[in-house]
Structure 1
């Protein structure tokens, strides 16, 4: 009897150690939507402090092994604004970079239609300021560099990130001699993705695309996302629409067509104050599961949406995803994708 009891204890210890080892080998990738640090957000930052927007979500960002967002403006004090509508020219104060680091961000995408609002000087300053805070900038072209992929190693797994915009920056003349954002080139993107895949174990591609305030992806988005996965991407993350768009499972890989806003002002259109934080669990080179955390934006601050508010956001995401994915499970105020 004692032998059986001892064997039972030993078996239990072995199982617990094995489960602990599995957790140690798992990497959590966190993804959020658009981050705007100007206009109405700037006013709130000056009133409440530069750490204010992240107060309710920083624990999630910090627990992520790699936390990712889309930075929707340059961070600079220099430069001449681009030639476009003044109310659509943005830039953030340099104090923001420290706050972004303290919030837990590891990588920020710059491939969007506002990163060049203060032209090449603005994006150069943004890159330098982020790098000083040990935040990796993504989605820009630099005449001094040949590789545009960012590779980050966590728990023995190499994670590669590529960032592209389908939109050219407004009011700015492109020159291959100056820093710029990376744009989608349908003739070369397949080759670029295949090359990037050889440099990593798990490849994430961020696209700035789609129609503003549309809850459903366009055919162009679907086609481009499928090409990315066909060529080797493990995960596709989208931005720009300012609202949530559906999630698709394609060849057993996930496509999040838009994560909507994250830190933003002017929640005038329906859905612009609703978003999710995506927590992807990766082991070796495989996605083991996804947790969806519903978020409600209040006074430029993302807040975890609880109970009925959270379920409402997740149910709408399920509606947008109808016909694209088999199931999004809602349990205890969170969403899950197996």
Structure 2
């Protein structure tokens, strides 16, 4: 039997009208059902893609993995706007524990104009931070109150690395105090963490429409302490660049590369009191550049080492001391490296010579500054670096371009 609701009745015109109404109703129901289903699915996928947890949690579903596109590398010149990044060397604050409390904001006033002038400024805090713990059994151990970070902040410093051979000088209890201070947000600290995920995590800041990312790691450890100083899954520690861990560091750089316009790596490496980089330093620089770094800077030698270009990338093998108790003139000769970058293109750099006086950096001027620039230039040859970029360069038709130049000693 034909259902009543489709049996012919009345005129042909009325039949056709009712038929059209029925069909329209069916289509409406189908459309409503489809929108409801696709809306829920779309909402779920959008949430998965944008969720921080879903991008880091390995338990994400296979469906999410299939539907989440891999990040595409950003345009080489990004927004086309230049950004300046200032890098300075080792800050142990030895002998200044009282001063950082009594003169927190004024302690580093001499260097503040240099650090504040850059869009991003960074130093290596080469000491345990806090008051907890007991000094470990090693020749030199440093610890400074948390006010040291406030002093750096007052001086215009934006971010610090603690990936070095003194960050855990006061053992696990002291390191727990440092991590507590980090969590309070006095100053962004990279290169350390409650586990390896946090330790290898980058500092990211957007300036002039450009995303700048910085990763830090340490290649120098006290003998027999490499394992327990190195961050691991569920284990607090320092991001390591040691040979056994260097691939993890390289992968962190590779993962960061598509998400930022300019990528810098700050390493603690080299041989103390040497003014030329060793083979291991060059090996790590090569690895970082091949992984996607645009800038590689380092410290540990407590001496200046060469700055220059390796292809299109800028390398500074040794920035020496910054806030440090150095017993020699060579150890007190230092400076601030200011890099100008437009996305991946390094437009140039300035070397701002300083001298450490009464444990803190003081900018040089006049003939002394000129001599400081010349002294740094003389170290370029043994570092195997060039005064100008030697690679194919980075250009972007969507952004203005200018020739790569080297700028020094303003």
Secondary structure at the counterpart of residue 198 of structure 1:
helix
Moved more, 103-112 or 164-173: 164-173
Aligned-pair CA distance for 1:321: 0.6
Q: 2:201 aligned with 1:148, yes or no? A: yes
Question: In structure 1, how many angstroms separate the alpha carbons of the residues matched to 2:313 and 2:197?
Answer: 30
- Selected match of 1:225 from 272, 275, 285: 285
Give the match for residue 339 of structure 2. Answer: 280
CA 66–178 in structure 1, closer or farther in 2 if over 3 Å, else same = same
- Selected match of 2:350 from 286, 291, 298: 291
CA 187–284 in structure 1, closer or farther in 2 if over 3 Å, else same = closer
| Mapping of residues 74-223 of structure 1, within 5 Å | 74-85=128-139, 88-143=140-195, 145=197, 148-169=201-222, 172=225, 174=228, 176=232, 177-184=234-241, 185-223=245-283
Give the match for residue 409 of structure 2. Answer: 335
CA 223–131 in structure 1, closer or farther in 2 if over 3 Å, else same = same
| Mapping of residues 302-313 of structure 1, within 5 Å | 302-313=361-372
CA 58–133 in structure 1, closer or farther in 2 if over 3 Å, else same = farther
Aligned-pair CA distance for 1:92: 0.3
CA 92–153 in structure 1, closer or farther in 2 if over 3 Å, else same = same
User: Contact 2:355–2:361 at 8 Å: present in 1 too?
Assistant: yes
Question: In structure 1, how many angstroms separate the alpha carbons of the residues matched to 2:153 and 2:80?
Answer: 24
CA 215–224 in structure 1, closer or farther in 2 if over 3 Å, else same = same
TM-score by length of 2: 0.69
Give the match for residue 112 of structure 2. Answer: 58
- Runs of 5+ unmatched residues, structure 1: 1-22
Q: 2:84 aligned with 1:28, yes or no? A: yes
Secondary structure at the counterpart of residue 144 of structure 2:
coil
Secondary structure at the counterpart of residue 378 of structure 2:
helix
Aligned-pair CA distance for 1:265: 1.1
- Selected match of 1:300 from 346, 359, 367: 359
RMSD value, Cα: 2.6
Aligned-pair CA distance for 1:169: 4.5
TM-score by length of 1: 0.82
User: Contact 1:247–1:256 at 8 Å: present in 2 too?
Assistant: yes
1:278-312 CA distance string (max 9 Å, x none): 11122233222211111011111211111221122
Question: In structure 2, how many angstroms separate the alpha carbons of the residues matched to 1:24 and 1:191?
Answer: 27
User: Contact 1:112–1:169 at 8 Å: present in 2 too?
Assistant: no
- Runs of 5+ unmatched residues, structure 2: 1-78, 389-404
Secondary structure at the counterpart of residue 309 of structure 2:
strand
User: Contact 2:312–2:345 at 8 Å: present in 1 too?
Assistant: no
Question: In structure 2, how many angstroms separate the alpha carbons of the residues matched to 1:266 and 1:186?
Answer: 30
Question: In structure 1, how many angstroms separate the alpha carbons of the residues matched to 2:255 and 2:196?
Answer: 19
Give the match for residue 253 of structure 1. Answer: 313
CA 45–136 in structure 1, closer or farther in 2 if over 3 Å, else same = closer
Aligned-pair CA distance for 1:158: 1.3
More strand by share: 1
